[in-house]
Amino acid sequence: MSEKKEKSGGLLNRLLVENPVFGLYLGICSSLAITTNINNAIGMGVAVTVVLTLSNILVSAVRNATPDDIHIPVYIVIIATLVTIVGMLIQAYTPSLYSALGAFIDLIVVNCIILGRAEAFASMNPIGPSIADGLSMGFSYTLSIMAMSFIRQLLGTGTLSLSNPFTNAEIFSLRLIPEGFELPFFKEQFGAFITFACLAAAVAAYKNHLENASKKKGSK
Binding site for other proteins (CB under 8 A): 25-26, 28-30, 32-33, 65-67, 69-70, 72-74, 76-78, 80-81, 83-85, 87-89, 91-93, 95, 103, 106-107, 109-112, 115, 185, 188-194, 196-198, 200-202, 204-205, 208
Instruction: Using the minimum distance from each CB to other proteins, give the nearer residue, 6 or 106.
Output: 106
Instruction: Using the minimum distance from each CB to other proteins, give the nearer residue, 12 or 201.
Output: 201
Helical spans, DSSP H, in the chain: 2-16, 28-33, 38-62, 71-93, 95-101, 112-117, 127-157, 189-219
Instruction: Using the minimum distance from each CB to other proteins, give the nearer residue, 179 or 189.
Output: 189
* Listed residue (34, 31, 55) closest to 140, CA to CA: 31
Instruction: Using the minimum distance from each CB to other proteins, give the nearer residue, 21 or 154.
Output: 21
Cα–Cα distance for residue pair 22/205, rounded to 1 Å = 11
- The distance of closest approach from Cβ of residue 20 to other proteins in the complex, given in angstroms and rounded to an integer, is 12
Cα–Cα distance for residue pair 199/189, rounded to 1 Å = 16
- The distance of closest approach from Cβ of residue 1 to other proteins in the complex, given in angstroms and rounded to an integer, is 31
* CB contact at 8 A, 203 and 13: no
